[in-house]
């Protein structure tokens, strides 16, 4: 039986919270360290479960990897193993990001596919097609993605969809390819820009970071570097929604507020007073939020990772909200759990219609992924009574000090340890 969070409803969250480095950046930057022989140091890393897991993946490839608080030090040998098949690989979706660097460095890679995901299918066809266009072969064999290239060469690659993972893998293979690669319809997320910045510090020649056309001039080798991970915009936005749903007042630091321009605008539309600060923002809400519609899209659209928080807000908003999910087919699965809490919510394909109610009521609920789990905690804060949120290991994968931060802001949230196994 896993641990659970005991969430007492009714608190108004107020105070200041500091956001650590971004999960969806650090894991890719750790993979990028494979591209250069020597010691790479990453600072401002979040203290979350996925970071030591990724360190384990790198160790299985022959690196030394030390996680010391918010610093991760990776020493990459001249000769790497090209087989990422250890148990840690399967536990971590982001482990697939070692594929591009391994193809770049070793000219071949075998990477175990992670298991199914509660947010829907996550194919790798664009990763594979991109590598093929760079001159590699790629197939799925015995539960692994296998890629091999005699020689990697630059190519013009059009992505069907601006996938973060595909952009990252193709980019990390292309930096060491012969000639120039152009990735069109590339992902524009701030985490991609962070990766491009680190690769540039390592000696890569990349133009267009943050736009949908990335041009990569291949170089023969890269050097290790020291890099500070960008602040986690998804965690930052979480606290903005926490203020909005509890009628609270939260100042968030450690994140670039411009990574959240659209999110902050949506919170304003819901009635919050939003102040943009140099290193963060403040969200203050008096009373119930108003209903707002949300449509998830790749950056700079509204992030799919924030959709559960938008739903949590909609459940207690005045009026009816329509939320459209365009990225992951099963990302509404947790809405059933919201209904347990008294939400008036229904989903139909890509859409969820939520009629706001004045109060939710507590119930035991189950987290199916990181963001769904946090969305349920936010809803629990608006529920009468004590809500138990189960399977919180999901939340620990992405949120450092989650319970401590909640408590600091005045929420009565406790971690309840699992009973010892008999």
Interface residues with ligand EPU (CB under 6 A)? Answer: 23-24, 27, 93-94, 119, 122-127, 161, 163-166, 303-305, 327-328, 370-371, 398
Question: Could you tell me which residues come within 8 angstroms of residue 128 by beta carbon, excluding any fewer than 6 positions away?
Answer: 138, 139, 145, 147
Tell me the sheet residues that pair with 137.
148
Nearest to 357 by CA among 317, 385, 321, 323: 317
Q: Which residues are catalytic?
A: 117
Non-local (6+) Cβ contacts of 124 within 8 A are 96, 113, 140, 145, 165, 166
Nearer to ligand EPU, 60 or 304 (CB): 304
359 is in an annotated binding site: no
Q: Strand 205-207 relative to strand 213-217: parallel, antiparallel, unpaired? A: antiparallel
d(C-alpha 382, C-alpha 353), whole Å? 19
Known binding residue 24? Answer is yes
29-35-39-45 Cα dihedral, nearest 10 degrees: 0
Measured from the CB atom, is 119 or 272 closer to ligand EPU?
A: 119
Per the CB < 8 A criterion, the answer to whether 352 and 337 are in contact is no
44 is known to lie in a ligand binding site: no
* Smallest separation, CB 376 to ligand EPU (Å): 14
Provide the β-strand partners of residue 226. Answer: 41
Residue in the shown chain whose Cβ atom is closest to ligand EPU? 165
23 known member of a binding site: yes
CB of 386 to ligand EPU, least distance (A): 26
Closest approach of Cβ 385 to ligand EPU, in Å?
A: 28
Q: Is 277 annotated as a binding residue?
A: no
Output the smallest distance, CB 239 to ligand EPU, in A: 16
Residue 210 contacts residue 256 (beta carbons within 8 Å):
no
In sequence order, which ranges of 41-189 are alpha helices (DSSP H)?
50-60, 87-91, 99-106, 125-133, 164-174
Nearer to ligand EPU, 27 or 263 (CB): 27
**CB-nearer residue toward ligand EPU: 15 or 301:** 301
Work out the angle between the directed axes of helices 233-246 and 370-381 (0-180°, nearest 10). Answer: 20
- Minimum distance, C-beta of residue 27 to ligand EPU, in the bound complex (Å): 6
Binding site residues for phosphoenolpyruvate, as ranges?
23-24
Could you list the residues known to form a binding site for UDP-N-acetyl-alpha-D-glucosamine, using ranges: 93, 305, 327
Binding-site residue set: 23-24, 93, 305, 327
């Amino acid at each position: 039986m896993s641990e659970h969070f005991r969430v007492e409803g009714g608190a108004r969250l107020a105070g200041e919270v500091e956001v650590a480095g971004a999960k969806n950046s650090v894991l890719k930057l750790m993979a990028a360290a494979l591209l250069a022989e020597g010691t790479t140091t990453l600072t401002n890393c979040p203290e979350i479960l996925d970071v030591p897991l990724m360190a384990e993946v790198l160790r299985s490839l022959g690196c030394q990897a030390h996680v010391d608080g918010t610093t991760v030090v990776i020493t990459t040998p001249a000769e790497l193993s090209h087989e990422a098949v250890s148990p840690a690989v399967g536990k971590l979706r982001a482990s697939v990001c070692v594929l591009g660097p391994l193809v770049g460095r070793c000219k071949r890679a075998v990477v175990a596919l992670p298991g199914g995901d509660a947010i829907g299918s996550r194919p790798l066809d664009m990763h594979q097609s991109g590598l093929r266009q760079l001159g590699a072969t790629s197939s799925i064999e015995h539960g692994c993605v296998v890629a091999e290239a005699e020689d990697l060469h630059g190519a013009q690659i059009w992505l069907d969809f601006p996938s973060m993972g595909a952009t990252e893998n193709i980019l990390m293979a292309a930096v060491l390819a012969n000639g120039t690669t152009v990735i069109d319809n590339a992902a524009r997320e701030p985490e991609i820009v962070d990766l491009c910045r680190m690769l540039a510090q390592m000696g890569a020649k990349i133009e267009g970071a943050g736009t949908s056309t990335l041009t990569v001039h291949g170089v023969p080798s890269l050097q290790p570097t020291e890099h500070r991970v960008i602040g986690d915009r998804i965690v930052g936005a979480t606290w903005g929604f926490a203020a909005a749903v509890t009628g609270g007042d939260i100042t968030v630091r450690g994140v670039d507020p411009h990574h959240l321009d659209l999110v902050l605008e949506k919170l304003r539309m819901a009635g919050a007073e939003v102040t943009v600060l140099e290193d963060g923002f403040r969200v203050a809400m008096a009373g119930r939020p108003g209903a707002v519609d949300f449509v998830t899209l790749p950056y700079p659209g509204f992030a799919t990772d924030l959709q559960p928080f938008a739903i949590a807000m909609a459940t207690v908003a005045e009026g009816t909200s329509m939320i459209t999910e365009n990225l992951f087919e099963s990302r509404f699965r947790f809405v059933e759990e919201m209904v347990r809490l008294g939400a008036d919510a229904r989903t139909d394909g890509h859409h969820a219609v939520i009629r706001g109610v004045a109060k939710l009521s507590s119930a035991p609920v189950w987290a199916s992924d990181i963001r769904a789990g946090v969305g349920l905690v936010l809803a629990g804060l608006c529920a009468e009574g004590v809500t138990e949120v189960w399977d919180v290991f999901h939340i620990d994968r992405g949120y450092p000090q989650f319970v401590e931060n909640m408590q600091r802001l005045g929420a009565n949230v406790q971690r309840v340890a699992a009973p010892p196994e008999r």
